[in-house]
Structure 1
Amino acid sequence: MKVKPNLEHIAPSHRKTALLDDKQRIVSIYTDRWINYPEVNSIRSVVRAVYEMPRNIQAQCILVSGHSGMGKTSLFTRIESDIETLRKRDQSHGGCISFSMPADPTFSGFEDIVGEVLGVPIGKIRNGVIPKTFSRLAHLRNLRMIVIDEVHNLLNASRMDQRKSLALLRAISGPPLSLSIVALGIDDAEFAIRGDDQLDRRFQIYNLPHWKEDEKFRSFLAAYESILPLRRPSELSRKDKVKSLLGSSGGITGNIVKRITRGAVWAILDRKEAIDLECLEKAADIPPYIE
């Protein structure tokens, strides 16, 4: 009789996956995962608080910046989900629109994107004055917040288009609309917002720092390990593995996750069922496809 493995090291909701065959488990490992940790949890809480604030003459705005690969786009998606959940719980909550700034953001393209997410052309913006069409639509839909990813792309625009786009954001976040803006981008995002002094003063800035060897990082590793369908504990928070992961990743979340997921696949292929240092070293290479 086959004995079931002890899966107490895996979160209860993920234990069934560990009993699947190798190929199914590998597919599960490569599936995008969300791990909530203190920095992002704090930012999500702040965004929810701002969303539920009474309207002010000048709206409270938030800028989240971090090195590429620190998980800001995943956070963007999670913020969208958080706002939608709040709206479903209470229909009186204001509306929210979200979009990503294009890589080459001309001002007319910016106008078009806002119109696309609203589903209606908003009209042309002149001298930072919001068109009546947009104002009426924002009022009818009770818009409360705009969430923008890749806001650092504003720096790719011409100086004139950049000024116009910032003037638009300033007008949107001021009366009469007073919409809160949540912007996310890489480190350069702060320079984009600081191109307009009035707008800059409305933003509270939060950073996603690189990981370092501390309890927060060990907790993150333990949480990630608890969702991996490996049949033996990997003890990723052990000192030698922490050192290996930080040394190979530069403290970048995306690089760390890549090492762990590839290491987990190697652990299955090598019949170890736990990520050891050799698996982490082999994770520099993409594991082969399993037939």
Structure 2
Amino acid sequence: MKVNTSLEHIAPSYRNLALLDDKQRIISIYTDRWINYPEVSSIRAVVRAVYEMPRNIQAQCILVSAQSGMGKTSLFTRIESDIDTLRKRDQDHGGCISFSMPAEPTFSAFEDVVGEALGVPIGKIRNGRIPNTFSRLAHLRNLRIIMIDEVHNLLNANRGDQRKSLALLRAMSGPPLSLSIIAFGIDDAENAIRDDDQLERRFEIYNLPDWREDEKFRSFLAAYESILPLRKRSELSRSDKVKFLLRSSKGITGNIVKRITRGAVWAILDRKEAIDMECLEKAAFIPPYIE
């Protein structure tokens, strides 16, 4: 297909998508994309720094908190990929296991998800002591980091199970294993670790704030626009569009991305090839399927 419009507004690696037919472009728009921005970039860098640190008696741990919809789970997945890349570059680097805290986090359920992440049952944990099975496997695999998503679910546990789970995390991050725990959760996730003073002191807390009208948000919008296969500039960072997106999304990343992706599809369906205000307004509704 020959397209006469300049595609310089699209990042070079995505320009070929703008040459596809409408249906293929719409499929591309709905495909999850990763956009790096300063807050997530700095958290990724911090985790890599922790991964590269020599083992200390008490490991450095990190808690990433954010409102639901701010992209913490996408960041979790991206950091998993970062660690895997570092591991492949140097086999002497430590290993990593990851899992999500169960929605109903009984201590038995916690034991089970740790065992599933390792690939073998770890045995029953008593008095916060690490089972020999877990210790041996951690040593054999040179385990360095444990990543836990949805750590705020600990708040759903009864008092006894919560204390047992925190004691286990404290034991994992202390000697002799000294594993760094990288935890993710919604805003009240900090409360999940506060009941254990020793454990809390090991955590450094990072927050993904809601978006507001500033240069960071405009840069994020410009970056997102650069990966959309639209054949004309949308100028999403223009003041009226910035204000509309913040107002309609309440500053939540997931809501913003939904408006932009749907708006991009409407731009194709309406033969505009750029997201205008009408497209953003219509993006409150799911665009129809096209044959």
Distance 1:63 1:71 in 2: 14
SS of alignment partner, residue 32 of structure 1: coil
Distance 1:190 1:282 in 2: 38
Determine whether 1:18 maps to 2:18: yes
Q: Normalising by structure 1, what TM-score?
A: 0.99
C-alpha contact 2:2 2:19 (8 A) present in aligned 1 = no
Q: Name whichever of 128-137 and 52-61 sits farther off.
A: 128-137
In structure 1, the residue matched to 2:242 is 242
In structure 2, the residue matched to 1:142 is 142
How much has 1:4 moved relative to structure 2? 2.8
Determine whether 1:96 maps to 2:108: no
Distance 1:248 1:269 in 2: 22
What value does the CA root-mean-square deviation take over the aligned residues?
0.9
Amino acid at match of 1:250: K
SS of alignment partner, residue 15 of structure 1: helix
In structure 2, the residue matched to 1:228 is 228
Distance 2:65 2:228 in 1: 29
SS of alignment partner, residue 103 of structure 1: coil
Distance 1:229 1:206 in 2: 34
Amino acid at match of 1:99: F
How much has 1:137 moved relative to structure 2? 1.1
Cα distance change of structure 1 residues 125 and 2 upon mapping to structure 2, 3 Å threshold? closer
In structure 1, the residue matched to 2:129 is 129
In structure 1, the residue matched to 2:33 is 33
Q: Normalising by structure 2, what TM-score?
A: 0.99
Amino acid at match of 2:90: D
SS of alignment partner, residue 145 of structure 2: strand
Q: List runs of 5+ in structure 1 lacking aligned partners.
A: none
Distance 2:192 2:2 in 1: 60
In structure 2, the residue matched to 1:282 is 282
Amino acid at match of 2:151: V
Cα distance change of structure 1 residues 51 and 3 upon mapping to structure 2, 3 Å threshold? closer
Equivalenced residues, count: 291
Distance 1:3 1:281 in 2: 27
SS of alignment partner, residue 201 of structure 1: helix
Distance 1:105 1:123 in 2: 17
Identical aligned pairs, as a percentage? Answer: 86
SS of alignment partner, residue 230 of structure 2: coil
Determine whether 1:79 maps to 2:53: no
Cα distance change of structure 1 residues 283 and 55 upon mapping to structure 2, 3 Å threshold? same
C-alpha contact 2:173 2:181 (8 A) present in aligned 1 = yes
Distance 1:226 1:126 in 2: 53
How much has 1:2 moved relative to structure 2? 5.1
How much has 1:123 moved relative to structure 2? 1.1
SS of alignment partner, residue 7 of structure 2: coil
How much has 1:195 moved relative to structure 2? 1.8
Distance 1:168 1:2 in 2: 61
Cα distance change of structure 1 residues 134 and 279 upon mapping to structure 2, 3 Å threshold? same
Cα distance change of structure 1 residues 153 and 3 upon mapping to structure 2, 3 Å threshold? closer
Distance 1:63 1:261 in 2: 30
What whole-Å deviation, never above 9, does each CA across 1:108-162 have from its counterpart, x for those lacking one?
A: 1111111111111111111111111111111111100000001011111111111
Distance 1:244 1:217 in 2: 13
- 1:264-279 alignment runs, 5 A limit: 264-279=264-279
How much has 1:171 moved relative to structure 2? 0.4
C-alpha contact 2:66 2:72 (8 A) present in aligned 1 = yes
In structure 1, the residue matched to 2:204 is 204
Distance 1:234 1:3 in 2: 17
Distance 2:262 2:246 in 1: 15
C-alpha contact 2:212 2:246 (8 A) present in aligned 1 = yes
Q: List runs of 5+ in structure 2 lacking aligned partners.
A: none
Amino acid at match of 1:180: S
Distance 1:104 1:290 in 2: 41
What whole-Å deviation, never above 9, does each CA across 1:146-194 have from its counterpart, x for those lacking one?
A: 0000101111111111110010000000000000000001001111011
